[in-house]
Amino acid sequence: MTISDYVKSLSLGDGETHRSDCPSCRGSNTFTVVNRSGSMIYNCYKLGCRSRGAVHVNLTAAEIQAKLTAEAYVKPEPECMIIPEYVVEPVGREYTLLNSFLDKWDLQSERVLYDVSEKRAVFPIKHKGSIIDAVGRALHNAIPKWYRYTGKASVYKRIVGKPNGTAVIVEDVISAITVAKLLPQVTGLAIMGTSLGHEHMEHIGEFSNVIIALDPDAMTKTLQYRREVEAWTGIRTQAFRLDDDIKYRLQSDVKRLREMLL
């Protein structure tokens, strides 16, 4: 039986998923299939196995009706964030700790607020022009290092210029800003969390090309994310091995990343 026949034989309904041993390499529980609107996207997570692709199947009348019903549902817009009184607009170079941080990471041109209570640099996250969330970065040894103020935003995006359809997924806000500045028209996208979920895929699905560029010590997660994004969305996704965190702007990393985008 071919992989195509095997995938079809699963008879998955729209939105359903399946996980099993790979019919090609026999990897244990490494083979995933998801039905995305009639496209059965399959992928083997085992290193060295090249079993991945998509098989088209017809939706049933009930599945089409359910899809139309779901599409008719309008997802409510997230509420605006009420900025706490202790999160302020810094004036000039009034706050030494904050300005040292902004100078270090070349962030003086970014809009960054300051949490005077917990001494955090605060990066607002907007949706349709309104602030819905913010991410605070501790400027001393506070825990947690990164703090989300409302939890309504699942990603942080930064771009310089007109989007070209490519997203570089990174670990934190500073790295996302760095990507945007180094690669105009490319979106720096920070995943705020330790795993990918449907809320992240909604944002990633907006792009036509995705590069995963996590920190060097997270190469296993980089490969995992690549497989998950490709399996979930069907979007061309590449894993990029950094020599150092992208926010340190190592010239060899920047050069190779630019070459990948050619």
pLDDT tens profile 194-227: 788 888 998 999 999 999 999 999 999 999 999 9
Whether residues 147 and 160 fall in one domain: no
Q: What is the pLDDT of residues 87-128, one digit of tens each?
A: 999 988 889 999 999 999 999 999 999 999 999 999 999 998
Tell me how many domains the chain contains: 3
Query: Is 230 inside any structural domain?
Result: yes
Tens digit of each residue's pLDDT (9 = 90 or more) over 219-242: 999 999 999 998 888 888 999 999
Token couple for 159 = 């771009």
From 41, 67, 93, give the residue that closes a domain.
67
Lowest-pLDDT range of 58-67, 73-82, 242-251: 58-67
Asked whether residue 73 is domain-assigned, the answer is no
CATH code at position 38: 2.20.25
In this structure, are 145 and 103 located in the same domain?
Answer: yes
Q: For residue 211, is it within any domain?
A: yes
- Collapsed DSSP state (helix, strand, coil) of residue 31: strand
If you average pLDDT over residues 164-191, what whole number do you get? 96
Question: Is 72 part of any domain?
Answer: no
Give the rounded distance of the alpha carbon of 207 from its chain centre. Answer: 11
Q: In whole angstroms, what is the distance from residue 221 CA to residue 99 CA? A: 33
Length of the chain: 262
Rounded Cα–Cα distance for residues 179 and 176 (Å): 5
Question: Do residue 253 and residue 164 come from a single domain?
Answer: yes
One-letter amino acid for residue 36 of the chain: R
**Rounded CA gap, 151 and 172, in Å?**
15
71: left (phi over 0), alpha (psi -120 to 50) or beta: alpha
Tokens 């994310």 sit at which residue? 225
pLDDT at 75 over 80: no
The per-residue pLDDT for 61 is: 63
Q: What is the pLDDT of residue 66?
A: 61
Q: What whole-number distance in Å separates Cα of residue 98 and Cα of residue 49?
A: 48
pLDDT at 250 over 60: yes
Does residue 186 share a domain with residue 261? yes
Furthest C-alpha separation in the chain: 70
The range of the structural domain enclosing residue 38 comes to 3-67
User: Is the pLDDT score of 72 beyond 70?
Assistant: no
Cβ distance 116 to 93 under 8 Å? no
The per-residue pLDDT for range 57-71, each reduced to its tens digit, is 876 666 656 655 655
